[in-house]
């Protein structure tokens, strides 16, 4: 499944049909051209972004960051409350349980492939060894914080793999 934002109106879209050459946006009606390669169609391997055509993608665990941060914050608050009530062992047990839950989720969850430029997400795809873990320099190179047209991008010369 491919999830992305419409380049024209930023509506969240998703589709599974890799045989199509374009995808109409249901919100603004704009037709979005899709750059689906033969390797994607035949082997289910993402070798370039379908939306923007960028060949630099990264992989990460498919986990909701807000949920992860919420679990950590809740465990920290509960642990501090227990520690304040002189329940030191219980306090550390809460932290240990949160760490164990984090580890189990990490082991159980699949990976998602993400485009550095447009942040399109690809789920349930075969692994591509060229798509590695996130690199901050590549993120800044392809999606700089200063989005003004012709803005100088200090990371434009970041290393190529």
Which ranges of the chain would DSSP assign to H, the alpha helix? 38-43, 65-84, 88-108, 136-142
> Coil, strand or helix: which one is 2?
strand
Is the pLDDT assigned to residue 91 strictly greater than 60? Answer: yes
**What distance in Å separates the CA atoms of residue 1 and residue 23, rounded to the nearest whole number?**
14
Please name the residue that has the structure tokens 């498919």: 62
pTM of the model: 0.74
Comparing C-alpha atoms, which of 90, 131, 84, 93 is closest to residue 112? 131
Q: Over the chain, what is the mean pLDDT?
A: 86
**What distance in Å separates the CA atoms of residue 137 and residue 152, rounded to the nearest whole number?**
15
Task: Read off the pLDDT of residues 43-90 as tens digits, 9 standing for 90 and up.
Answer: 989 999 998 889 999 999 988 888 888 989 999 999 999 999 999 999
Q: Which range, of 66-70, 105-109, 152-156, averages the lowest pLDDT?
A: 152-156
User: What strand order describes the sheet that includes 57-61?
Assistant: 12-15, 2-5, 121-122, 111-115, 57-61, 132-133
Residue with the larger pLDDT of the pair 58 and 145? 58
Q: What is the pLDDT of residue 161?
A: 47
pLDDT tier for residue 150 given thresholds of 50, 70 and 90: low
**What distance in Å separates the CA atoms of residue 18 and residue 2, rounded to the nearest whole number?**
9
From the CA atom positions of the chain, what is the Rg in Å? 20
Q: What is the pLDDT of residue 99?
A: 92
């Amino acid at each position: 499944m491919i999830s992305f934002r419409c380049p024209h109106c930023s509506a969240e879209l998703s589709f599974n049909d890799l045989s199509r050459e374009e995808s109409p946006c249901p919100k603004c009606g704009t037709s979005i051209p899709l750059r689906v390669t033969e390797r994607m169609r035949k082997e289910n391997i993402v070798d370039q972004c379908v939306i923007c055509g960028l060949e630099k993608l990264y992989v990460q665990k498919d986990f909701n960051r807000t949920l992860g941060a919420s679990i950590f914050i809740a465990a920290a608050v509960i642990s501090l409350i227990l520690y304040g009530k002189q329940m030191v062992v219980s306090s550390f047990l809460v932290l240990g349980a949160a760490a164990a839950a984090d580890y189990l989720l990490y082991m159980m969850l699949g990976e998602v492939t993400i485009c550095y430029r447009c942040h399109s997400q690809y789920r349930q795809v075969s692994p591509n060894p060229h798509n590695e873990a996130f690199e901050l320099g590549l993120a800044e190179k392809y999606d700089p914080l200063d989005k003004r047209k012709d803005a100088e991008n200090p990371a434009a010369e970041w290393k190529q793999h």
